[in-house]
């Protein structure tokens, strides 16, 4: 995500003025990551904070936002269970309040959005920020920044795509901590207050989680730059990524876990080269800012309890199926494995890149997605779980990707390409669409018929604006063949994205409760990178339970965040 950090300084965010020293004092004999950034220098003792109970977003304001998000006139049904309250417009989830965490989100009804020149509604934001049940009255700072902008373009078959237009703009409240006469960002999943505005200045979306913080004094001595460098190298070595990682940025931020503390940390981001192919991915990591260690656990780059390994790819199954590589025969097709459509089962297939330094993270993300879906609804079936293989999208698509309702691929990627196996020459590259099954994916091709394709790889769904002016059709071109099979939507990223297993669980839950696949994905995953999606025109509001046969499309929409 690249939010523009200028903006309406309502409560004034100062720029950090910390000194910086160059990081590179290379020891060529040592196995170490490359540092291409400065390291921060801080000397004053660092403050820590204790968090109180989560605020509950005021119900009257929430009701008004939910009505607006659903496009005004639509009827809203409220449902409730042990874990939360849910608001639906027809069958699509537009809002959720989590009773355990007090977190709230509202998603806009995409089909009802109108394009326009969007500005933040500063007056309304001021009123919301002044509400003590939205932003706590405490010694931390809060300021408004302009967040991401949702753009879209559609292409009617054999016509030029429509000029890109804007549909939503985020105004985000950024929390910060005063330290060494500057203000330093609060980072981590804990504090969020993001409002999405439409072209008429109405709020159409919301993410909110906030806890008041009490100062616990300033007791921690910050690490010196050489210590910071060594700790980051250790952290990368723990995950086995040190040889292929380049650290791009290190700064001081205050990590809000959303649990008990806001604690100072050094945050770093790094690019990680793929095995086999030319791709890179991003990761973000945190080390405690002092020698005293962490007040509460910080997320690790890899987690040893990530879940079972995927099954070996290709083809181990039924000798009868194995004998015929051709799916043409009706008896072969009739014997395809998978849960019954009649029971309303939604079959999930997960295909993860093998042979790469980040493969353990891809596994963790795959389990995150499954646990989220599964916790939201018992209709999901974990039908396929394999190491990825390029043939699963082509000659074996009828058995793999096109024999599930929802496919999740994860690995490294770049525009219209992704890698499946770092151990193969070229990394087992799949090019969209020349390496895909010729009839595309969906009910018109052999197999169950894919409805939704979730691409966890970086950059696979570029936007028309990622191509030279007048060449926007290049963003659409390869997708026509894929959708000709009847598929409903593909969601992913248009740019580099950060790995983040907990977010995959969150998005699984949002989709499992019935959020629009397109915008539920794009909005939930936005903190990890610029999300994007390709969908059939007018079907952007469909949920993961709307599966099955559609014919060839005559219009496609691409949505993307800036
Ligand atoms: C959520 O809000 C309620 C009511 O204010 C409060 O009792 C509860 O502790 C809050 N939950 C959390 C996790 O802080
Ligand atoms: C790394 O983090 C810094 C500060 O948060 C940010 O400005 C920069 O864009 C990030 N780099 C990447 C590659 O995302
Ligand atoms: C770096 O990637 C290469 C493949 O490109 C792999 O062989 C090697 O083991 C990796 N090294 C580390 C330390 O991750
Ligand atoms: C990260 O790893 C360390 C050491 O292996 C462990 O103590 C810590 O609890 C882990 N953190 C999380 C959030 O799992
Ligand atoms: C299926 O075919 C593959 C090669 O295409 C072979 O390696 C495998 O052993 C076969 N499996 C069975 C059960 O015959």
Q: How far is the CA of 399 from the centre of ligand 5 (A)?
A: 14
- Indicate which ligand has the atom closest to the C-alpha of 210: 1
Is the pLDDT assigned to residue 9 strictly greater than 70? no
| pLDDT value, residue 321 | 57
Whole-number Å distance between alpha carbons of 9 and 142: 9
The set of protein residues with a Cβ atom below 6 angstroms from ligand 4 is 297, 299-300, 303
Please name the residue whose Cα sits nearest to atom 4 of ligand 4. 300
Report the side by side order of strands in the sheet with 417-418. 413-414, 417-418, 430-431
DSSP 8-state class, residue 77: E
Evaluated on CA atoms 447, 448, 451, 453, the torsion sign reads negative
The residue with tokens 């940390």 is 265
Using pLDDT thresholds of 50, 70 and 90, give the confidence band for residue 10: very low
Whole-number Å distance between alpha carbons of 154 and 557: 4
Whole-number Å distance between alpha carbons of 393 and 551: 20
For the stretch 471-526, pLDDT in tens is 999 999 999 999 999 999 999 999 999 999 999 999 999 999 999 999 999 999 99
- Indicate which ligand has the atom closest to the C-alpha of 324: 5
Q: How far is the CA of 312 from the centre of ligand 5 (A)?
A: 12
Using the atom order of ligand 1, give the atom closest to the CA of residue 99. 1
Q: How far is the CA of 530 from the centre of ligand 2 (A)?
A: 13
Return the higher-pLDDT residue of 15 and 321: 321
Using the atom order of ligand 4, give the atom closest to the CA of residue 303. 14
Pocket mutation for ligand 5, best pick of 315, 323, 332, 395 (most atoms within 8 Å of C-beta) = 315
Please name the residue whose Cα sits nearest to atom 12 of ligand 4. 299
DSSP 8-state class, residue 162: P
DSSP 8-state class, residue 510: H
Helix (H, G, I), strand (E, B) or coil at 300: coil
* Overall average pLDDT of the 389-416 stretch: 94
* Overall average pLDDT of the 544-560 stretch: 95
For the stretch 160-173, pLDDT in tens is 999 999 999 999 99
Q: Which residues contact 512 (CB under 8 A, 6 or more apart)?
A: 372, 373, 374, 375, 376, 377, 380, 544
Pocket mutation for ligand 2, best pick of 35, 249, 268, 497 (most atoms within 8 Å of C-beta) = 249
Q: For residue 385, give the nearest of 481, 273, 499, 309 by alpha carbon.
A: 309
DSSP 8-state class, residue 222: B
Using pLDDT thresholds of 50, 70 and 90, give the confidence band for residue 247: very high
- Indicate which ligand has the atom closest to the C-alpha of 103: 1
Whole-number Å distance between alpha carbons of 395 and 198: 44
Whole-number Å distance between alpha carbons of 92 and 109: 8
Whole-number Å distance between alpha carbons of 35 and 25: 9
- Indicate which ligand has the atom closest to the C-alpha of 271: 2
Distances (CA, A) of 278 to 136, 161, 272, 419, 562: 46, 30, 11, 9, 24
* 260 within ligand 1 shell (Cβ under 6 A): no
- Indicate which ligand has the atom closest to the C-alpha of 37: 2
Is the pLDDT assigned to residue 253 strictly greater than 70? yes
Three-state secondary structure readout of 336-388? CCCCCHHHCCEEEEEEECECCCCHHHHHHHHHHHHHHHHHHCCCEEEEEEEEC
Q: How far is the CA of 234 from the centre of ligand 1 (A)?
A: 38
* 242 within ligand 3 shell (Cβ under 6 A): yes
Q: How far is the CA of 355 from the centre of ligand 2 (A)?
A: 27
| pLDDT value, residue 32 | 76
Lowest mean pLDDT, pick from 45-49, 209-213, 418-422, 546-550: 546-550
3-state helix, strand and coil shares in percent for the chain, rounded to the nearest 5: 20, 35, 45
Q: How far is the CA of 58 from the centre of ligand 2 (A)?
A: 34
Per the omega criterion (within 30 degrees of 0), is the bond before 398 cis?
Answer: no
What does pTM read for this prediction? Answer: 0.91
Using pLDDT thresholds of 50, 70 and 90, give the confidence band for residue 313: low
For the stretch 269-281, pLDDT in tens is 999 999 988 899 9
Is the pLDDT assigned to residue 112 strictly greater than 50? yes
Using the atom order of ligand 3, give the atom closest to the CA of residue 245. 14
| pLDDT value, residue 31 | 55
Distances (CA, A) of 368 to 68, 102, 176, 304, 380: 31, 21, 29, 14, 14
Q: What is the mean pLDDT of the chain?
A: 90
Is the pLDDT assigned to residue 422 strictly greater than 80? yes
For the stretch 23-73, pLDDT in tens is 444 444 455 789 999 999 999 999 999 999 999 999 999 999 999 888 877
| pLDDT value, residue 342 | 72
Using the atom order of ligand 3, give the atom closest to the CA of residue 242. 13
- Indicate which ligand has the atom closest to the C-alpha of 245: 3
Whole-number Å distance between alpha carbons of 548 and 27: 58
Q: Record the tokens describing residue 364, joined without a space.
A: 């963790």
Pocket mutation for ligand 5, best pick of 322, 332, 389, 391 (most atoms within 8 Å of C-beta) = 322
Is the pLDDT assigned to residue 15 strictly greater than 60? no
* Overall average pLDDT of the 11-29 stretch: 41
Return the higher-pLDDT residue of 29 and 197: 197
**pLDDT > 90: percent of the chain:** 78
Lowest mean pLDDT, pick from 3-12, 492-501, 522-531: 3-12
Q: Find the helix or strand (DSSP H, E) in which 71 lies.
A: none
Please name the residue whose Cα sits nearest to atom 1 of ligand 3. 244
Q: How far is the CA of 55 from the centre of ligand 1 (A)?
A: 7
167-177 as b/e, with b when 16 or more CB fall inside 10 Å?
bbbbbbbbbbb
Please name the residue whose Cα sits nearest to atom 4 of ligand 3. 275
* Overall average pLDDT of the 440-467 stretch: 95
Pocket mutation for ligand 4, best pick of 297, 299, 505 (most atoms within 8 Å of C-beta) = 297
Lowest mean pLDDT, pick from 71-75, 208-212, 308-312, 417-421: 71-75
Pocket mutation for ligand 4, best pick of 239, 287, 300 (most atoms within 8 Å of C-beta) = 300
Lowest mean pLDDT, pick from 236-250, 258-272, 309-323, 503-517: 309-323
| pLDDT value, residue 511 | 98
Using pLDDT thresholds of 50, 70 and 90, give the confidence band for residue 206: very high
Is the pLDDT assigned to residue 1 strictly greater than 90? no
| pLDDT value, residue 329 | 58
Whole-number Å distance between alpha carbons of 463 and 494: 6
On whether the CB atoms of residues 7 and 144 are closer than 8 A, the answer is: yes
Is the pLDDT assigned to residue 89 strictly greater than 50? yes
Q: For residue 197, give the nearest of 172, 171, 233 by alpha carbon.
A: 171
Using the atom order of ligand 5, give the atom closest to the CA of residue 315. 1
């Amino acid at each position: 995500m690249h939010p523009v950090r200028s903006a309406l300084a309502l409560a004034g965010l100062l720029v950090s003025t910390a000194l910086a020293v160059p990081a590179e004092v290379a020891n060529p004999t040592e196995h170490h990551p490359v540092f291409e950034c400065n390291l921060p220098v801080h000397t004053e003792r660092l403050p820590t904070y204790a968090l109180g109970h989560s605020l509950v977003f005021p119900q009257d304001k929430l009701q008004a936002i939910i009505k607006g998000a659903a496009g005004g006139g639509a009827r809203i049904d409220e449902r409730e269970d042990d874990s939360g309250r849910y608001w639906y417009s027809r069958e699509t989830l537009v809002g959720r309040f989590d009773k355990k965490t007090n977190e709230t989100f509202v998603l806009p009804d995409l089909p009802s959005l109108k394009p326009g020149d969007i500005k933040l509604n500063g007056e309304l934001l001021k009123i919301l920020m002044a509400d003590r049940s939205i932003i706590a009255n405490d010694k931390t700072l809060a300021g408004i920044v302009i967040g991401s902008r949702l753009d879209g373009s559609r292409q009617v078959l054999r016509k030029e795509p429509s000029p890109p237009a804007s549909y939503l703009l985020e105004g985000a409240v950024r929390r910060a901590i005063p330290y060494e006469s500057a203000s330093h960002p609060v980072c981590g999943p804990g504090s969020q207050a993001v409002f999405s505005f439409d072209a008429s200045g109405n709020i159409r979306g919301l993410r909110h989680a906030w806890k008041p913080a009490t100062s616990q004094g300033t007791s921690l001595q910050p690490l010196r730059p050489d210590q910071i460098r060594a700790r980051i190298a250790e952290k990368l070595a723990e995950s086995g990524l040190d040889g292929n990682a380049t650290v791009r940025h290190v700064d001081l931020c205050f990590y809000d876990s959303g649990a008990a503390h806001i604690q100072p940390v050094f945050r770093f981001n790094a690019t990680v080269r793929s095995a086999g192919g030319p791709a890179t991915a991003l990761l973000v990591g945190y080390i405690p800012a002092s020698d005293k260690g962490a007040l509460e656990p910080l997320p690790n780059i890899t987690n040893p309890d990530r879940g079972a390994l995927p099954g070996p790819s290709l083809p181990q199954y039924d000798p009868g199926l194995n004998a015929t590589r051709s799916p043409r025969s009706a008896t072969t097709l009739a014997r395809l494995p998978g849960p019954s459509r009649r029971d309303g089962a939604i079959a999930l297939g997960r295909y993860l890149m093998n042979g790469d330094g980040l493969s353990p993270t891809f596994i963790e993300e795959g389990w995150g997605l499954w646990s989220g879906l599964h916790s939201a609804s018992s209709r999901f079936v974990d039908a396929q779980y394999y190491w990825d293989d390029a043939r699963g999208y082509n000659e074996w698509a009828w058995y793999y990707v096109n024999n599930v309702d929802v496919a999740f691929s994860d690995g490294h990627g770049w525009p219209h390409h992704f890698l499946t196996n770092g151990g193969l020459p070229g990394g087992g590259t799949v090019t969209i669409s020349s390496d895909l099954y010729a009839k595309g994916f969906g009910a018109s091709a052999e197999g169950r018929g894919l409805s939704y394709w979730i691409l966890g790889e970086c950059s696979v769904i570029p936007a028309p604006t990622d191509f030279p002016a007048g060449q926007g059709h290049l963003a659409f071109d390869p997708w026509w063949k894929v959708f000709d099979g009847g598929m409903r939507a593909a969601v992913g990223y248009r740019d580099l994205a950060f790995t983040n297993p907990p977010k995959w669980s969150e998005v699984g839950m949002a989709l499992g409760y019935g959020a629009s696949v397109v915008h539920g994905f794009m909005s939930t995953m936005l903190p990890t990178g610029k999300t994007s999606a390709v969908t059939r025109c007018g079907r952007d509001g469909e949920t993961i339970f709307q599966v099955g046969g559609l014919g060839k499309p005559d219009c496609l929409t691409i949505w993307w965040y800036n």
